[in-house]
Amino acid sequence: MALDTPLDPVQLTADLIRCPSVTPDEAGALALLERVLTKAGFVCVRVDRNGTPNLFARWGKKAAARSLGFNGHTDVVPVGDLAAWTHDPFGGEIADGLLWGRGATDMKSGVAAFVAAACDYATQTQPKDDAIIITITGDEEGDATDGTIALLDWMAQNGEAMSDCLVGEPTCPNTMGEMMKIGRRGSLTAYFTARGIQGHVAYPHQTHNPVPVLARLMADLSAHTLDQGTAHFDPSNLEVTTFDTGNPATNVVPALCQATVNIRFNDAHSGASLSEWLRAKAARMAKETGIEIEVRFSISGESFLTPPGAFVNLVARSVETVTGLRPELSTTGGTSDARFVKNHCPVVEFGLVGKTMHKVDEQVPVSQIEDLKRVYSRLIGDYFA
């Protein structure tokens, strides 16, 4: 049965907020979307993996000549101190022109906007050799190992594909329409462990202290300039995020010292090249000091760029038509599931102003949700025109 009236993205966002889908709980959010999309004529498949809930939906032909994709997530971060909230974080209340609740900004509003836009188009159009594909995960705020990755794996195994994809994450710093993302920096975390010889501080000749050695290495890494930035990226940055000995005693030289470094890197580097550099720096320090230094790595995403071109320009034009602003083409910010989608097809990101995401009293102006649906509707119409 087709939808009789345009789908209200504000009401759909409120309904999604009322599903307390804190990672990894689905809490009915994907079930709600599955019902809405099925009613609009989408073929829906639950692609749950290792307990992670995911939803695939397609309108139009399988293996279509052109397929526009949308990606997002319905899981949210915990609310924190419940007493600090002005409104029930899972109430989906509208007050003072704002929709309040956890996920209002990040990113149930984005999901609701593109689902509403896609459902309207699907119920008003006869599919030709084209398709709209929607992929939604319940594990973006968690480990993200069985979310969008699982959806893309399932698509590859079942002959489903997107030609281009838009991720509906919040992208605008202050004003709706001012920024879209055409890439992201990569993220690497390095865990260092330095081992020496424990002993009494009064007998230093019987000890070998790893603390100053690891501190020297961290200072050396922090002082290093990785690059000056590239055509579309800011300079890479390295930050020491932890330094710990676990030693409560003031008269004991510890045997162990640990530190953690995170690097957000641009397209001048790869996770492998930075890992090799860090490993070499640790080995050189170990050779100079006689302190054993181990390092292990976690790479949550490589840097990527969708170069300005037809799809980027189409999204930018849709944003400008609705908001009056030509969005800046940016690669700033943290990581998103676009880092996975980029291995499948060209991907860009556009969404709301993200000022309140993950905060107490997360909220979004109702008008922004309505404008976001208009942007996505314009994009869909122009993409298949």
Query: Could you read off the pLDDT of 119-141 as tens digits, one per residue?
Result: 999 999 988 899 999 999 999 99
CA distance 103 to 70: 18
CA distance 300 to 271: 9
Cα angle, residue 298 at apex, residues 296 and 303 outer, rounded to 5°:
130
CA distance 104 to 102: 6
Which DSSP helix (H) or strand (E) runs through 244? Answer: strand 237-244
**CB of 354 closer than 8 Å to CB of 173:** yes
Residues identified as active-site = 75, 140
CA distance 142 to 148: 12
Strands 66-73 and 292-301: unpaired
Below-70 pLDDT ranges, the chain: 1-3
Q: Is 153 annotated as a binding residue?
A: no
| CA neighbor of 293 nearest in space, from 182, 218, 201 | 218
Q: For residue 247, give Cα distances in angstroms to 210, 250, 258, 290.
A: 12, 8, 11, 21
- What is the pTM assigned to this prediction? 0.91
Structure tokens that stand for 111 in this block: 């999901």
Which DSSP helix (H) or strand (E) runs through 295? Answer: strand 292-301
CA distance 276 to 268: 14
CA distance 40 to 2: 5
pLDDT of residue 128: 86
Cis omega (within 30 of 0) for bond into 24: yes
CA distance 156 to 150: 10
CA distance 300 to 339: 9
CA distance 280 to 286: 10
**CB of 335 closer than 8 Å to CB of 315:** no
Radius of gyration of the chain (CA): 24
Torsional sign, CA 101, 105, 108, 113: positive
User: For the chain, how many helices (H) and strands (E)?
Assistant: 9, 19
Q: Is 141 annotated as a binding residue?
A: yes
Tokens 């800011």 sit on residue: 234
Q: For residue 304, give Cα distances in angstroms to 81, 237, 290, 381.
A: 36, 16, 39, 27
CA distance 201 to 206: 9
Domains by residue range for the chain, with CATH: 9-184+303-383 (3.40.630.10), 186-301 (3.30.70.360)
Q: Is 106 annotated as a binding residue?
A: yes
pLDDT of residue 1: 37
Bridge partner residues of 193 (DSSP): 258, 294
Q: Is 361 annotated as a binding residue?
A: no
pLDDT of residue 3: 62
Eight-class DSSP state of 165: E
List strand residue ranges (DSSP E) for 88-220, in order: 94-95, 98-100, 130-137, 164-167, 179-181, 183-184, 186-195, 199-200
pLDDT of residue 147: 96
For 277, list phi and psi in degrees, rounded to 5: -65, -45
Q: Is 205 annotated as a binding residue?
A: no
